[in-house]
Amino acid sequence: MSPDDARPDGRQRAGSGSPYEPTIGFSRAVRDGDHVYVAGTAPVWPDGEVDPDHAAQARRCWEIALEALRDLGGDVADVVRTRQYLTPHADPAAVGAVHGEVFGVVRPASTMLVVAALLDPRWVVEVEVDALVRRDSPPRT
């Protein structure tokens, strides 16, 4: 991933290569000033595969989301809010344990929701991240 060119208003975007980004018209993450918003992130590997293990799906989601955050100058310590969307078939204990591994020291505000379904029936978890990144943290190049 790498940040897109900055817009005249200073807003920056990062992509992840998801095929949905250009067709649906969204960015993996957007930085506007000190705020970074990472879009709903699913557990897809570059080859399109999805691990059936629920904890592995959660780890993959956080890996993609945090890479986008780093591309825009942030890091896990800058995360102030997370959201985890789980299908009724997901194992909330396994998914929650991964959240604890990733954010145990940071302890952001967090919400875990059960939703009827996600875009791909193989997915049991999808995540979002909001971060506050001080202006002196430039995007990665």
Taking only the tens place, the pLDDT of each residue in 38-86 is: 999 999 999 999 999 999 999 999 999 999 999 999 999 999 999 999 9
The secondary structure of residue 28, as a DSSP letter, is S
Give me the phi and psi of 96, to 5 degrees please. -65, -35
Nearest of 32, 42, 29 to residue 7 by alpha carbon: 32
pTM, to two decimals = 0.89
Predicted confidence (pLDDT) per residue in 80-93, tens digit: 999 999 999 999 99
CATH superfamily for 12-132 is RutC-like (3.30.1330.40)
Domain ranges of the chain: 12-132
Q: Give the Cα separation of 83 and 40 in Å (integer).
A: 9
CA distance 80 to 64: 17
Residues in Cβ contact with 5 at an 8 Å cutoff, skipping those fewer than 6 apart = none
Q: What angle do CA 61, 66, 67 make, to 5 degrees?
A: 100
